[in-house]
Structure 1
Amino acid sequence: MAKPGDKQHEQRISMGIVVDAYTEEECAMAWYCHLEDGLTFPFEARVRQTMPASPLRTGEKVSVTGLAHDQLCRVAIFVRAQHNERELLVPLAQLVPIRADQSTRLAVSDWHYWCDQGYSF
């Protein structure tokens, strides 16, 4: 069943983020630029799910300090995060902002929607 915000996510993503992206690389760069513009660092986040690409576990908290290098984000979006005095690179899809501005919350929400729908670059 569709959620009330699904049409808004679809509209924002298709007409505002990936509108001119015709290849996988263009799509990855469109998302990277969108998130670079929309995310305000640092922000506190909670791990929403355990993922194979990350040592973090559900419920843990991290401080997100920036996007990973654009070359690393050609398959998925990764961010730099501080956890227990260590800097990690973790998938943004794994994190939910808990102390962040509205722009950051919206950008991450769009990315979660994209990932949860099974879309890829």
Structure 2
Amino acid sequence: MPLTKKEIEEIIENEIIVDAYSDEEAETGWATYMEDNLNFPFEAEYLVRKASKPNEWKKVRIIESHTNSSNYEGGGYYLSALLEDVDMIIPVEIGELRNVEADEETLNTLQIWESKSKY
């Protein structure tokens, strides 16, 4: 079940940025929260851009975080997606995914990430 706005605010304020005294510390809090609360693998759709054909939404398997607390710079948070039909792993930004099929903790974490820009 999706989180309420109040639940999201409480998680952000009490778990993610609670001890942050600078933007850098807040960024570390966000990256750590994502690392701790995304459960892999899960599936989603990603818009694959093709050079010779029209772009196409493809089901991909998200296999791990591409971004972590050591390389997160406060922008997008990237995951590693396996494109099984071409046996290729590519980085994809969370906002580029749709129709995510994952456990409740992962879905909640993605919902919280969507609210990040307000903080």
Q: TM-score, normalised by structure 2?
A: 0.74
> Does 2:77 align with 1:77?
yes
Match of 2:65 among 50, 64, 67: 67
Letter of the 2:30 counterpart: W
Equivalence for 1:86: 88
- For 1:28 and 1:97, how far apart are their aligned partners in 2? 27
Letter of the 1:10 counterpart: E
Percent identity over the alignment is 26
What's the offset of the Cα at 1:38?
Answer: 0.7
What's the offset of the Cα at 1:58?
Answer: 7.3
RMSD over aligned Cα, in angstroms? 2.6
- For 1:58 and 1:94, how far apart are their aligned partners in 2? 13
Q: Any conservation in 1 of the 2:66–2:78 contact (CA below 8 Å)?
A: yes
Distance 1:95 1:10, change over 3 A: same
Between the two proteins, the alignment pairs up a number of residues equal to: 109
1:71-102: CA deviations, max 9, x gaps? 43223211111124211111122224632111
- For 2:104 and 2:5, how far apart are their aligned partners in 1? 18
Q: Any conservation in 2 of the 1:44–1:62 contact (CA below 8 Å)?
A: yes
Q: Any conservation in 2 of the 1:28–1:76 contact (CA below 8 Å)?
A: no
Distance 1:60 1:112, change over 3 A: farther
What SS does the aligned partner of 1:60 have? Answer: strand
Distance 1:105 1:45, change over 3 A: same
Gapped regions of structure 1 (runs ≥ 5)? none
Bigger Rg, which one: 2
Answer 1 or 2: which has greater strand percent. 2
What's the offset of the Cα at 1:22?
Answer: 2.2
